[in-house]
Structure 1
Amino acid sequence: MHTIWKGHIQFGLVSIPIKLHAATENKNISFRNIHEECGTPIQYQKYCPNCREEVSNNDIEKAYEYGEGKFIKINDRELNQVNRESKQNSIEVLDFVRLSDIDPMYYDKTYFIGPNEAGVKAYALLRDSIKKTKKIAVAKVTIRSKEHLAVIRVIKKALIMETIFYPDEVREINDIPNLPGNIDLTDKEVETAETLIKQLTTEFNPNHYTDAVRLSLHELIQDKLEKEQDVITSGDKEKEDINDLMEALQASIDKEKSTHHQEEERKKKAKKAT
């Protein structure tokens, strides 16, 4: 598993050397924009509409827009100075709270935490202590020059870290337009809704759910490859091995279909139960 960050968990006077690994992966099917005439991927140039000319990276500066068309320039030296004020290689534990205290809307991205070779015992101490006290740790961590608020909790034998949004990054519920207030509902309407909820209630199993759109896209791409329909080789690059692409796509489709089949069977059993 690829390591994306190395550092320490600062837990009181205990320093635990750890590694972070991404716990999730994006499986969205991405597309490239190509030139219809020759099949070459389109490049996007950096262009100044005021000077009407292409600009290089050396001609570009960072700036904060504080009003329409009004900017304050921030140079790399100033950014580095700000970043040095944060603990770059440390996950600093601030507090311990109950998991139920944090609403799921605050959660952002999940990471697996693994111990370095020298930190196995300290890692186990923190993991077992969190599990026994039924608490989670609130911490601060800097990843890629951005300081995050995070929580550390236990899943099975592992510590995981989830970055969470700061309170001022979460919008107010009252900002939602047209929220209904107290609505008069009949007993029959409420009973019908409650009955439906009971019929659909089950234990959560993530393997029951599939991305039907992604499965359909995989099948569409595989079908086009098999028929060699709309297959384009761009420029002077060597043609990719279609057999390798087919194997990768077929593996993805088989996995999606298996999960999709499980979900369909679950739905059929739920219907029979009612």
Structure 2
Amino acid sequence: MLHVRSIWNGAISFGLVSIPIKLVNATESHSISFRQIHLEDGGRVRYRKVCELEDREISGSEIGKGYEDADGTIIPITDDDLAHLPLPTAKTIEIVAFVPADRIDPLQMDTAYYLAVGGAPAAKPYTLLREALKRSNKVAIAKFALRGRERLGMLRVVEDAIALHGLLWPDEVRTPQGVAPDTKVKVNDKELDLADALMDTLGEIDLDELHDEYREALEEVVAAKAAGESPPEAPEPPEGGKVLDLMAALEKSVQAAKQSRGGGKGEAEEHAEVRKLPQRKSARAAPKQTSGRKTAEGTKKKTAAKTTSAASTKSTAKKKPRKHPA
């Protein structure tokens, strides 16, 4: 088993069943971070904690917590005050319900964690909960405390492990009021058909194929600077314009998507001049197509002419006298 650093130790409360677990991070950040420096000499810029009343730097042992009231008054809150708060989930992930996964609004989704078993005896109840979640096709809603506050969470199965997603409390999610357009807009069927065509052309994608292009470009800049070289020049961004014709924009988007997926012609081909090439002479070349009646009549006349010519040739051959020897 891979040993990972846990950030919280406790237990899952599943009715009367208690499952010792360890909480580990399920995600990691690959973002490049910078340090603030003094431009003149490159020295690090650091912040010091200073008491604004005494105007002096203070140590960590002199720092506590305080709540700022509406009028600006600071109310000191001690660790003892917090220790006496009724918090039954301080060391427990308390399952309160099981619901279908689609009941959870993605807007509520927060940080993700893995729940690792806290010792060999926990393997049996851990597996029991995991298999029960699998068979029911449901997720567990739970309450737990982390970093000084009680949180809402969702337990679900990921491969052979149980994952815990932190959830925002319902009153922490804003409604979309005032976000949608104020005016009523009508969309016709042709526009919807083009939008559907664009969606079908883009299709599905393997998320593993997506990567952070900005971070990769930034890594190239850092590597070049570290080697004393000039950073690579960034490509010119495509010119953006206002969408004046929605239909034209949709059509071009479909063509561009087909081109990027290798299934269509590019914009250069769209505006290219088209010229007819001369046909090669071939015994099997098809006759030029003209309007229906003229073509049929012309074909009949040509066929009749060929038949007459052939017949005349045969007749001439028969009438030709045979030469006698002298």
Q: TM-score interval w.r.t. the shorter chain?
A: 0.7 to 0.9
SS at match of 2:21: strand
TM-superposed CA distance for 1:55, in Å, is 3.8
TM-superposed CA distance for 1:42, in Å, is 1.4
TM-superposed CA distance for 1:24, in Å, is 0.2
The match for 1:109 among 108, 111, 114 is 111
CA contact 1:137–1:153 (8 Å) conserved in 2: yes
Q: How does 1:200-239 map to 2 (within 5 A)?
A: 200-202=202-204, 204-227=205-228
Q: How does 1:159-174 map to 2 (within 5 A)?
A: 159-174=162-177
SS at match of 1:207: helix
CA contact 2:22–2:116 (8 Å) conserved in 1: yes
Q: How does 1:133-148 map to 2 (within 5 A)?
A: 133-148=136-151
**Gap regions ≥5 residues in structure 1:** 231-265
Amino acid at match of 2:224: D
Structure of larger gyration radius: 2
TM-superposed CA distance for 1:269, in Å, is 6.5
Structure 1 pair 228/270, CA: closer, same or farther in 2 (3 Å)?
closer
Query: Which is worse superposed, 218-227 or 179-188?
Result: 179-188
Per the alignment, residue 200 of structure 2 pairs with 198
Q: Deviations over 1:27-63 (max 9, x none)?
A: 1111111233443321101234455443444544422
CA contact 2:258–2:264 (8 Å) conserved in 1: no
Per the alignment, residue 303 of structure 2 pairs with none
Q: Is structure 2 residue 72 aligned with structure 1 residue 81?
A: no
Per the alignment, residue 251 of structure 2 pairs with none
Structure 1 pair 125/181, CA: closer, same or farther in 2 (3 Å)?
farther
Aligned length, in residue pairs: 236
The match for 2:43 among 37, 40, 44 is 40
CA contact 2:201–2:258 (8 Å) conserved in 1: no
Q: Deviations over 1:212-249 (max 9, x none)?
A: 1111111111111222789xxxxxxxxxxxxxxxxxxx
Structure 1 pair 105/49, CA: closer, same or farther in 2 (3 Å)?
same
Query: Which is worse superposed, 158-167 or 109-118?
Result: 109-118
Q: Deviations over 1:48-87 (max 9, x none)?
A: 44554434445444222231523322222112222x6333
Q: For residues 268 and 88 of structure 1, what CA distance do their matches in structure 2 show? A: 56
TM-superposed CA distance for 1:157, in Å, is 1.2
Q: Is structure 2 residue 185 aligned with structure 1 residue 183?
A: yes
Amino acid at match of 2:191: E
Per the alignment, residue 95 of structure 1 pairs with 97
SS at match of 2:84: helix
Structure 1 pair 181/10, CA: closer, same or farther in 2 (3 Å)?
farther
Q: For residues 258 and 223 of structure 2, what CA distance do their matches in structure 1 show? A: 28
Structure 1 pair 181/164, CA: closer, same or farther in 2 (3 Å)?
farther
Per the alignment, residue 319 of structure 2 pairs with none
Amino acid at match of 2:222: I
SS at match of 2:162: strand
Q: For residues 192 and 228 of structure 1, what CA distance do their matches in structure 2 show? A: 48
Q: Deviations over 1:95-116 (max 9, x none)?
A: 0000000111101010111212
- State the percentage of identical aligned residues: 35
Q: For residues 166 and 220 of structure 2, what CA distance do their matches in structure 1 show? A: 35
Amino acid at match of 2:135: K
Q: For residues 226 and 57 of structure 1, what CA distance do their matches in structure 2 show? A: 40
Q: For residues 197 and 178 of structure 1, what CA distance do their matches in structure 2 show? A: 22
CA contact 2:92–2:144 (8 Å) conserved in 1: yes
Amino acid at match of 1:121: K
Per the alignment, residue 256 of structure 1 pairs with none
Q: For residues 54 and 262 of structure 2, what CA distance do their matches in structure 1 show? A: 66
Query: Which is worse superposed, 220-229 or 183-192?
Result: 220-229
Q: For residues 80 and 222 of structure 1, what CA distance do their matches in structure 2 show? A: 49
Structure with the bigger RCO (C-alpha within 8 Å, sep 6+) is: 1
SS at match of 1:272: coil
* TM-score, with structure 1 as normaliser: 0.78
Structure 1 pair 180/273, CA: closer, same or farther in 2 (3 Å)?
farther
Q: Deviations over 1:196-215 (max 9, x none)?
A: 1111121x522121111111
Q: For residues 88 and 73 of structure 2, what CA distance do their matches in structure 1 show? A: 29
CA contact 1:20–1:111 (8 Å) conserved in 2: yes
Q: For residues 273 and 151 of structure 1, what CA distance do their matches in structure 2 show? A: 44
Per the alignment, residue 257 of structure 1 pairs with none
Query: Which is worse superposed, 217-226 or 100-109?
Result: 217-226
SS at match of 1:210: coil
Amino acid at match of 2:21: I
Q: Is structure 2 residue 271 aligned with structure 1 residue 270?
A: no
